[in-house]
Amino acid sequence: MTFDLRDLYQEVIVDHNRNPKNFGKMENATRVAEGYNPLCGDKLHLYLKTDNDRIDDVSFDGTGCAISVASASLMTEALKGKTFSEAEQIFRDFHKLVTQDVSLQDSTMQQLGKLAVLAGVREFPTRVKCATLCWHTLHSILEGTETTVSTE
Amino acid sequence: MTSALKIDSTPLRLDVEKLRADFPILQQRVNGRPLVYLDNAATTQKPVQVITSQDQYYREYNSNIHRGVHTLSSKATAAFEQARSRVRTFIHAASDKEIIFVRGATEAINLVAQSYGRSRLGQGDEIIISEMEHHSNIVPWQLLCEQTGAILKVIPINDDGELIMDEYAKLLGEKTAMVAVTHISNALGTINPVRQIIEMAHAHAAVVLIDGAQAAPHTGIDVQSLDCDFYVFSGHKLFAPTGIGVLYGRQHLLDSMPPYQGGGDMIRMVSFAKTLYSDLPYKFEAGTPNIAGVIGLGAAIDYLDAIGMDAIAQYEHKLLGYATSAVKAVPGLKIIGTARDKTSILSFTLEGIHPHDLGTILDYDGIAIRTGHHCAMPVMEHFHVPATARASLAFYNTSGEIDYFIQSLHKAREIFR
Ligand SMILES: Cc1ncc(COP(=O)(O)O)c(C=O)c1O
C-alpha cells in the first residue's frame, strides 16, 4: 500500500478541524453563499467582506467532516487580501492538487502554501468533494451566482 | 438470566463459518485486509446459489416468459412462476395472485400510492406515516398529497427511536384513509409493533402498507397473521439481485385498483376502442420483467428457508447484543436508536469525529459501514445530528468481526486525539 491514513489525516488537518480558523458568522459581510453536499449532509456558509475585487476578510460556519472543515479553515487563511482573480487561480491549483496524480511545479506548491497538506485527498477519490465544497462555494460568490447579502 | 438460558438451549444454531463460504465476495481483501461487510442494511451480499441461478438462466434457458410456445420460454415461465410461489410461501400470502413483482420497495410504494391512492383518496383524506420512515415511504405520499389534496400526518418518535403509540392513536380518525409505516427502521433498527399498528388502523377502516425492506432479511413474515393490506420489500436486501422486489397486496384490493403502467403482458385484449386488462398478478406487471432477478429472488428464498428465518433472527439478536455492549465501552460513542425491540442495526456517533471520516478510516481497515443520513433525514433532525455511522449486520457476520470493528474505532479516536 502506498498511502497511509496519516497522509490524509495530517496533524494540521486534525488541528484545523478541532479549532478552525475564521470560524463564525461575519456580521458585516458584503457577500454570503451557502455550500451543501446532499450526499453527506455537509453544509457551510461562507462570508466575505470585499472591496471592489479584493477579499478583505473571510469567515465560514457550518458542519462537516474533518476534511471539509479543515479545508474551509485553510482556505480562509489563504484568501485574505487576495484579489478575485488570484483566488480563482488558487482554486484551480488546489483542484489539481487534490484530483490529479501529477507533481505540481515548485512555484505552484509555494503559492498553495499550507493548502498542500490536503494533497492526501487525492488517494481517497470519495473525499475530493469534501475538500472542494468550500472552494466551489467561493467560486459561486466570485462568479456572482450567490445570494448577496443586503446591507440593510 | 433465565430467559437468556432458554435462548441458549434452543436447538437453533448457525454454522456461520460454513455459511460464509457460500459468499464469494466475503473471501476477498479490501485495502489489504479481510473484508468486513457491515453495510447489510444498504444491500446484502449474494450467496453462490443465487449467483449460479443467474448464470444458469442466461446460459441455459434465457427467453421471454408468458409468450412463447418453445421449450426455453416454457422453462423460463415455469421458473418465474415457481419463484412467485416461493415468495408467497415465504411471506405466507394466500395466493400467488397477491404477489406482484416490481423493481424494489420504492417502486412498490409508488405503485400503491399512484394506483390505490390516486383512485381512492381525495381532498382532506389523511395519510399517516411516521417520523422514522425512509424517504421512499415519505416522498410517494407527498406526491400523492399534491395530486389529490390529501393530508400527510406523521407519528412522532421518542428519544429511544420508538413510535409514540399514544400519538398514533390521536392521529387516527374518520379522515384516515391510509397508514404507511416501516416494519423495521433502517436508520435506527427499531422493530415497530406492526400488528398493533394495523389493528388500530383497521378499527378506523384505514388501509395499511407495511414497508418491509429491512424486515424481510431478519424476521419471518406472515402477511395473513399480520392482517396487513400491502407489504413491500426489495430483493437486494434479501441476498437476491438488485432490480427486483415484491408488492404483496390483498387480492380484493389489487382487483379493484387500476393498472399502474400499461404495456405488454398486462392486457388480455387490445383494440383501439377498448383494452381489457389481464387478471392478477399480471395486471400490474407491464412489459418484460426482470426474469433473472425473479429467479434469483426465488433462489435466495430457498437458501434462507434452508437456514431458517428463526435461526437467523436468533443469531442476529445475539450478535447485536454483543456488538451493542462492545461499542458502549468505546469512550465518546453514542448509540442513536435504543429501542427495546430492535434488530441488526447499530447507528452511532463518535464524539469529535464526523461519521464521514470514520467511514474512511474503517474502510482503510477493510470495514464497510454506511455513513450519512441513511435516506431518513427526519430521523437525523430528531436526534440533532447531520449524519450517523451505521453498522448493519447479517447472519454471516461474526463476533470476531465486531472485535476488529471496535479496534478500528479506537484507531480513529487515536488519529483524532
Ligand atoms: C426501510 C426502507 N424502506 C425502503 C427502502 C428502499 O428500498 P429500495 O431502494 O430497494 O427500493 C429502503 C432501502 O434502503 C429501506 O431501508
How many Cβ atoms from other residues are within 10 Å of residue B116's Cβ? 24
What is the reported pTM?
0.93
Cis amide linkage into residue B241, ω under 30° from 0: no
User: CB within 6 Å of ligand 1 — which residues?
Assistant: B 104-106, 134, 136-137, 182, 186, 211, 213-214, 234, 236, 375
- CATH number of the structural domain spanning residue A103: 3.90.1010.10
Residue showing cell 420483467: B289
Residue showing cell 429501542: B339
CA A86 to chain B, closest CA, distance in angstroms equals 31
Cβ of B360 within 8 Å of Cβ of A41? The answer is: no
Cβ of A39 within 8 Å of Cβ of B360? The answer is: no
| Best residue of A1, A4, A5, A36 to probe chain B, by most B CBs closer than 10 Å | A5
Give the whole-angstrom CA distance, residue B181 versus residue B131.
Answer: 9
* The three three-digit cell numbers of residue B248, written as one number: 404483496
Cβ of A5 within 8 Å of Cβ of B364? The answer is: yes
Residues of B with CB under 8 A from a CB of A: 31-32, 352-357, 360-361, 364, 371-373, 380, 386-387, 415-416
Residue A48 lies in a domain: yes
Ligand 1: atom nearest CA of B211 is 3
| A90 DSSP 8-state letter | H
Say if A1 is an interface residue toward chain B (CB within 8 Å). yes
Number of CB pairs, chain A paired with chain B, less than 8 A apart: 49
Ligand 1: atom nearest CA of B105 is 11
Catalytically active residues of B are 375
Extents of the domains making up chain B: 16-34+308-415, 51-306
Residue A61 lies in a domain: yes
A29-34 contacts: CB < 8 A, separation 24 or more?
A: A29/A59, A29/A149, A30/A148, A30/A149, A30/A151, A31/A141, A31/A146, A31/A148, A31/A149, A32/A141, A32/A146, A32/A147, A32/A148, A32/A149, A33/A137, A33/A138, A33/A140, A33/A141, A33/A146, A33/A147, A34/A137, A34/A146, A34/A147
Q: Which CATH superfamily hosts domain B16-34+308-415? A: Aspartate Aminotransferase, domain 1 (3.90.1150.10)
Residue of A nearest to B32 (CA): A1
Give the whole-angstrom CA distance, residue B165 versus residue B134.
Answer: 19
Tell me if the domain spanning B51-306 has CATH number 3.40.50.740.
no
Residue A152 lies in a domain: no
A90 lies in which domain range? 5-146
Cβ of A8 within 8 Å of Cβ of B360? The answer is: yes
Give the whole-angstrom CA distance, residue A134 versus residue A44.
Answer: 7
Cβ of A9 within 8 Å of Cβ of B32? The answer is: no
Cβ of A5 within 8 Å of Cβ of B361? The answer is: yes
Domain count, chain A: 1
CA of B40 to the centre of ligand 1 (A): 12
CA atoms within 13 A on the CB side of B112: 32
CA of B27 to the centre of ligand 1 (A): 27
Q: Whose CA is nearest to atom 7 of ligand 1?
A: B105
- Per-residue pLDDT 10s for chain B (417 aa) are 334 434 444 556 899 999 999 999 999 999 999 999 999 999 999 999 999 999 999 999 999 998 778 999 999 999 999 999 999 999 999 999 999 999 999 999 999 999 999 999 999 999 999 999 999 999 999 999 999 999 999 999 999 999 999 999 999 999 999 999 999 999 999 999 999 999 999 999 999 999 999 999 999 999 999 999 999 999 999 999 999 999 999 999 999 999 999 988 888 888 888 888 889 999 999 999 999 999 999 999 999 999 999 999 999 999 999 999 999 999 999 999 999 999 999 999 999 999 999 999 999 999 999 998 899 999 999 999 989 999 999 999 999 999 999 999 999 999 998
B93, B224 in Cβ contact below 8 A?
yes
Residues of A in contact with B42 (CB under 8 A): none
